[in-house]
Amino acid sequence: IDVVLGLEAGADDTVTKPFDGAVLVARIRAVLRRFERAGGADTGQDDADRGPVLAFGELEIDTEGMEVRKAGRPVALTPTEMRLLLEFSAAPGTVLSRDKLLERVWEYGWGGDTRVVDVHVQRLRAK
């Protein structure tokens, strides 16, 4: 239940004891790869065209600094929320399926319940 609660609360991964050191290192590397990819997500635009800051009304997304501001105030996002926001900002006005978001944000296909996407979108909207 602790693993489920942690993931539902926004954790990207959990490690239970006892754990294998090599597995822990591999998990850390996977998270770092996702973080690096989110910061440099390919949106089909050159970085020079896109610029480091995207603006949508009162919302500003600094893609280099991985910071978000709404009406000039910082918005604290989890790494997963930031990757999700970057996916949405890369294709404004485009409908993205839950399966597509799972592939791009969580980097895996999901054979079961896609509610995890709904929960993170809801939290992102609230912020």
Total domain count, the chain: 1
Which of the pair, 98 or 38, is modelled with greater confidence?
A: 98
What is the rounded CA–CA span in Å between residue 6 and residue 12? 9
What is the rounded CA–CA span in Å between residue 47 and residue 43? 9
Structure tokens at 51: 């610029």
Q: Can you give the pTM of this predicted structure? A: 0.59
Quick one: average pLDDT of 35-44?
A: 55
Quick one: average pLDDT of 40-51?
A: 45
Angle (nearest 5°) at CA 90 between 37 and 14: 40
Is the per-residue pLDDT at 72 higher than 50? yes
DSSP notation for 53-108: EEEETTEEEETTTTEEEETTEEE---HHHHHHHHHHHHSTT----HHHHIIIIISS
34: CATH? 1.10.10.10
Which of the pair, 44 or 78, is modelled with greater confidence?
A: 78
What is the rounded CA–CA span in Å between residue 38 and residue 85? 10
Which of the pair, 122 or 16, is modelled with greater confidence?
A: 122
- Residue-number span of the structural domain to which 65 is assigned: 2-126
pLDDT value at residue 44 = 44
Is the per-residue pLDDT at 99 higher than 90? no
Quick one: average pLDDT of 47-68?
A: 79
> In the sheet where 59-62 sits, what is the strand order?
53-56, 59-62, 67-70, 73-75
